[in-house]
Amino acid sequence: MFTGVFADTKLAASSANVAQPHASPSGAAAGLDAFWMPFTANKRFKASPRMLVAAEGMYFTTDDGRKVLDGTAGLWCVNAGHGRRAIADAVHRQLLTLDYAPAFQLGHPVAFEFANRLAEIAPAGLDRIFFTGSGSESNDTALKMALAYHRANGQGSRTRLIGRELGYHGVGFGGISVGGIGNNRRGFGALLPGVDHLRHTLERRSAFSRGQPELGAELADDLERLVALHGAETIAAVVVEPVSGSAGVIVPPKGYLERLRSICTQHGILLIFDEVITAFGRLGTPFAADYFGIRPDIICTAKGLTNGVAPMGAVFASRAIHDTIVQKSSGDGIEFFHGYTYSGSPMTAAAGIATLDIYQSENLLHRPPELIQYFEDALHSLRDLPRVVDVRNLGLMGAVELESRAGKPGSRAMDVSVDCFKSGAIVRSNAGDVLALSPPLILEKKHIDELVGIMSAAIARVA
């Protein structure tokens, strides 16, 4: 049983003095109408809005002046904490020097500098960097790279893309096609053809595993089933999150990713790691590929790339993929007909360089093992609370899954999330009745105590 300071926090949070939800001032409802909020129950939110107006370090400030602990790093992205002056100053200087420059047939030095800096920390061989504007764009870019690579390599029959059930790869049509979360797919009719999905790795027999589950490596063999069904010569790439974030922090079984890598190599299939969430220190290493000791062919990133300050993504491609597409292209024209208006823009690249400076100077890409262990112990101390059916964790990301209410999936976790907000912490409810955690990497043990204490009291009240 975890015995941290959170026991005192639990008692305080369960008292009668819990702050009440902020009431909208007169006329505020009309002021909320114009913004159609993403991935939000708009009617529920606008009836009782929860508004953030400032942030510094580990805490947001609400519009009624309360400090709220950020248990989710914004949206999996503010790894270095909020209000970092060095990033703001870098963006300010860049805007006054060169605010925008096109990357189509022209260049500017900041993008090249950032690409070189990223190549230095990339897994070996994955040092060709293509900039995008988001994780969704990174995933769609990676899929197009895979198709272009096989075509340039004389294997144009490889057009099939394989995702995984419960996978999340952004909201572009490529990403939701290979993605495997039903609610993200079913509202949009026909998606990309020639897509199939591996079985997911969320197994109830592995409930309450600490870190990687011991059972389930054989689930990777589902790729052999798809190879037998479609033919390896038709499959371009497999894309998976090393740790599935949006589906509720689903940690891969021991040996699973290694086996998936082996099968892909055997059949000439590219392996894409979607590290939009796991890159830049989330598992205690620069990339999840480093943590697992596996070299994919492409890595997708975003979020922590700029500490959430500016929209930006980056795709890390192997030299083999880059050189095949670029060097085998005939003539001296465009080799890869793809890109974005904001690919490597001066402002976002400056934000990225400043962010990387902080990561390296404060060693945030390698969090101490004892801090990660403390986080794990604290999270698993919640396992005996009412309605808790699973606890999952790896690195500084974790999830507490609650039993769903009959006919109202997702409502219990949402109620706990709202209760936590009233009590002083942001905990994300997603993937049904899952409470997901991904705190900024600057957190200390006292923040873990506070966060878990607030969660414990909220679960006890709501359950």
Which residue segments constitute the domains of the chain, with CATH numbers given?
A: 6-79+368-462 (3.90.1150.10), 85-361 (3.40.640.10)
CB 25 within 8 A of CB 64: no
* CB count in 10 Å sphere of residue 42: 13
pLDDT digits (tens, 9 = 90+) for 29-68: 459 999 999 999 899 899 999 999 999 999 999 999 999 9
Look at residues 284, 345, 280 and name the one whose alpha carbon lies nearest to residue 316.
280
Q: How confident is the model at residue 5 (pLDDT cuts 50, 70, 90)?
A: low
The pTM assigned to this predicted structure is 0.93
Rounded to 5 degrees, φ, ψ at 300 are -100, 135
pLDDT digits (tens, 9 = 90+) for 187-235: 898 799 999 999 999 998 999 999 999 999 999 999 999 999 999 999 9
Instruction: Check whether 463 has a pLDDT greater than 90.
Output: no
Rounded mean pLDDT of 6-27?
41
Residue 129 amino acid letter:
I
Chain position carrying tokens 């890598």? 261
CB 452 within 8 A of CB 381: yes
